Amino acid sequence: MPLSLRSKIFVIMIQRIQSVYLALVAIASTLMLIPFEKMPLADFYGETISFHFHSLYIENLIPGETSPFSMYFTWPLVAALVLITFFALISIFLYKNRAKQMLWIKINIFISIILLGGFFFGYINTLEGKLGVQAIYHMNSFLPALILLFLVLAFRSVKKDEKFVKSMDRLR
């Protein structure tokens, strides 16, 4: 049975390793947005405090007490994750125009660096300072570093493809 044009395009996109890297970026950033009950990004435990830090909110585990943090506190983190997911998905579908794809990946790398720095040096330091306890990191708190790694690998792969195509053009 012959493949339709849409199926052929999808197969071509998946065969390129940068599409896999960009899909992993989209999956990882989406996983950070899901507030798993048992897997917050970090925990903060003290004698009188107990908090779970999720990307969408900060949960106070002491019944009847309110959180000292506004519900808007994590919005920049959420915005960065949504942008990273959106730009990764856009980049996947720009496989025919490698120059634009590299531009979108560069923008995404910049946002990812801001996310990584903002998460560890902004949010975690602010929470540790305000709560007076050390953060206990969970496995998914290292997803921003993994996202950055996948973006750099995707950029290198697109650049390698571009270099290969230019070398083939010189041979003609």
pLDDT digits (tens, 9 = 90+) for 2-44: 656 555 554 444 458 999 999 999 999 999 988 877 788 999 9
The pLDDT value recorded for residue 133 is: 92
pLDDT value at 156 more than 70 = yes
pLDDT band at 1 (very low <50, low <70, confident <90, very high): low
* Nearest-angstrom CA–CA distance, 109 and 94: 16
Is 66 within a domain? yes
Closest to 133 in 3D by CA, of 47, 52, 41, 39: 47
* Nearest-angstrom CA–CA distance, 58 and 39: 13
The CATH number of residue 99's host domain is 1.20.140
Is 126 within a domain? yes
Give the contacts of 77 (CB within 8 A, at least 6 positions apart): 55, 115, 118, 119, 123
Is 11 within a domain? no
Is 6 within a domain? no
Residue 165, classed as helix, strand or coil, is helix
Q: Which domain holds residue 82?
A: 17-171
pTM for the structure as a whole: 0.84
- How many CB atoms neighbour CB 135 within 10 A? 20
The pLDDT value recorded for residue 64 is: 82
The pLDDT value recorded for residue 2 is: 61
Number of structural domains (the chain) is: 1
Is 143 within a domain? yes
Is 2 within a domain? no
- Arithmetic mean of pLDDT, 154-170: 84
The pLDDT value recorded for residue 34 is: 87
Is 52 within a domain? yes
Is 44 within a domain? yes
The DSSP output letter for 172 is -
Taking only the tens place, the pLDDT of each residue in 86-132 is: 999 999 998 888 899 999 999 999 999 999 999 999 999 999 998 88
